[in-house]
């Protein structure tokens, strides 16, 4: 949802372990009781796009952690940055997107990683379910392969 200046407000995120998990003041989930480091840690994620009308900030300083055995559900209004945040995590945004902040999977920083390196994480370690999975194509497979599987 855009504010009076036309900037998109950050997405409200709620990490869950099939039950609601309370967020701390800084927007991160409380650490698990066994003090494990998070598997996925996002800090100050910001995504901007250049448009004819200026800069569009689609994601504004989003931070969260996902620990072992937790599931993250991103919920928000249409246009609030849910898909853009998820696509940034997967490294699937166009090169024209300006991404800042930090996305760490275990000890690896994903922002700035080249696409070939990211392929080792996509689908095997990090995955997302697209909003309409029955009508969308899998970005990891060629269109040809997906079309021939149907036939």
Helix, strand, coil % in the chain, rounded to nearest 5: 15, 30, 55
Q: Is the dihedral of CA 124, 130, 135, 136 positive or negative?
A: negative
Confirm whether 6 is domain-assigned: no
pLDDT at 58: 93
Overall pTM > 0.75: no
Confirm whether 2 is domain-assigned: no
pLDDT at 127: 79
Confirm whether 21 is domain-assigned: yes
pLDDT at 7: 55
User: How many domains, in total, are found in the chain?
Assistant: 1
Band (71; pLDDT cuts 50, 70, 90): confident
* Burial grade of 14 (CB within 10 A; 0-12, 13-18, 19 or more): middle
Query: Residue 20 has what DSSP assignment?
Result: B
> What tokens were used for 9?
């407000």
Cβ–Cβ < 8 Å for 84, 47? yes
pLDDT of 143 above 80 = no
CATH number at residue 80: 3.40.50.300
Question: Could you tell me the residue range of the domain that residue 127 belongs to?
Answer: 13-150
Return the beta strands (E) in 28-141 as ranges.
40-51, 54-66, 71-74, 98-105, 108-109
What are 13's strand-pairing partners? 74
């Amino acid at each position: 949802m855009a504010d009076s200046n036309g900037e998109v407000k950050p997405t409200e995120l709620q990490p869950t372990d099939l039950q609601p998990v309370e967020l701390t003041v800084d927007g991160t989930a409380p650490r698990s009781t066994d003090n494990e480091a998070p598997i996925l840690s996002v800090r100050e994620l910001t995504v901007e796009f250049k448009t004819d009308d200026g800069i569009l900030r689609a994601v504004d300083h989003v931070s969260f952690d996902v620990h072992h055995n937790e599931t993250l559900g991103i919920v928000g209004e249409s246009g609030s940055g849910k898909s853009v945040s998820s696509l940034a995590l997967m490294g699937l945004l166009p090169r024209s997107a300006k991404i800042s902040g930090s996305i760490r999977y275990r000890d690896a920083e994903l922002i700035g990683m080249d696409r070939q390196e990211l392929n080792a994480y996509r689908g095997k370690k990090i995955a997302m379910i697209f909003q309409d999975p029955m009508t969308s194509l899998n970005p990891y497979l060629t269109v040809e392969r997906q079309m021939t599987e149907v036939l």
